[in-house]
Amino acid sequence: MRESLHPAARLEEWTRQVFVAMGADPAVAATVAGHLLRANLSGHDSHGLLRIPQYVAEADRGDLVPSAVAELGLVKGGVGMVDAGRGFGHSATTLAMEWAAERCLQQGIAAASVRRANHIGRLGEYAELAAGKGVIGVATVGVVGAGGVAPHGGRSRYLGTNPWAFGIPTAGEPMIYDAATSALAEGKVRVARFKGVTVPEGAIVDVDGRPTVQPEDFYAGGALLPMGGSLAGHKGYGLALSSALLGGLAMIDGEDATTAGTASSTLGEAWLGGAMVIAIDPEWFGGAERYRMAVTAALEELRRQPPADGVEAILIPGDPERMSRDRRGREGVPIPEAVVEELRAVGERYGVGFPEG
């Protein structure tokens, strides 16, 4: 599939204008546009511009309210709750982590849940936000009962891809871990579908539970498999379930709250899920500077470990994204032609011409 290169700044401005045209508050539109472009720049196209048609479709169905502005509601000590109002999850989760990162400076640790949010984008964004403020950031978002991942030992959809992200500050670039608990994130399958290529073996099964490498089989009713495969899939499954149950704290005080055996009016089945962010100030645990220096020393020693045959160097989580940002910032963001066609259609609908390469 042919790809074309596009300057990131022009794409971000176009995206912002589209969201404003959809009815988003200008500040929300800017936040979401910046988030999507940083995902593309970081090499995670699965969480970048190709999501825009998805958001348009969600708005058409009434699942997404573009004009909604997230609000920080309940606050008790180091605990907060953000209500996205069924709006863009990116701005709601940004608000949650910004609040937690500031509040943890006052009492060592703070956590915030996010409810009634749509897709929240690349989870590593929030870990980076916290680490950039000098605190440790933890973020997860998950759902059980309404996802595209089969439980370990199963073959039909039940769990979300339920990622976890950690941001650790250092004396230099932070360590950023961000990964789904499924063998492959759904967005990666979507990218493969647009490019007309197969996915790795062991990532998905078809509607009958048979292993397949064809992206279309997933969208025809198949399922993603948990991280770890047949040998250690119980680990990915357990992490995914934990993410959903922790995220479920966001629903207890909300109108979408469910209990076991109670059907959700939105999804038509019992489900639980939400997003949770946590921020920790190292200053409360012996000193922030001492911690950053200790982490830096450990990571530097890690880089000096001998690589395996065929491996050029050992990388730290977050390195691939930084290298991608440098390269794509210079060369442009590659977008498959199939995605460009969908974005052009979105632009035409909202009167915002798509910036050609």
Model confidence at 260, pLDDT cuts 50, 70, 90, reads very low
Model confidence at 208, pLDDT cuts 50, 70, 90, reads very high
* Entry pTM: 0.92
Cα angle 255-116-128, degrees, rounded to a multiple of 5:
145
List, in sequence order, every residue forming a beta bridge with 224; answer none if it has no partner.
Answer: 149, 204
What's the rounded Cα separation, in Å, for the pair 57 and 64? 9
What's the rounded Cα separation, in Å, for the pair 352 and 356? 12
Average pLDDT of the segment spanning 333-353: 97
The helix or strand, by DSSP H or E, that contains position 138, with its residue range, turns out to be: strand 136-149
Model confidence at 146, pLDDT cuts 50, 70, 90, reads confident
Structure tokens, 313: 């160097």
Q: What is the tens place of the pLDDT at every residue in 156-165?
A: 999 999 999 9
The pLDDT score that the predictor gives to residue 1 is 65
Closest Cα to residue 118, out of 35, 203, 233? 35
The pLDDT score that the predictor gives to residue 262 is 27
Rounded percentage of the chain residues whose pLDDT exceeds 90:
89
pLDDT of 258 over the 70 cut: no
Q: Residue 209: how many CB atoms within 10 A of its CB?
A: 13
Model confidence at 357, pLDDT cuts 50, 70, 90, reads low
The pLDDT score that the predictor gives to residue 230 is 85
Please list the alpha-helical segments (H only) found in the chain.
Answer: 8-22, 26-41, 52-61, 89-107, 124-132, 186-195, 215-219, 229-247, 288-303, 319-331, 337-350
Average pLDDT, the chain: 93
The pLDDT score that the predictor gives to residue 12 is 98
Model confidence at 356, pLDDT cuts 50, 70, 90, reads confident
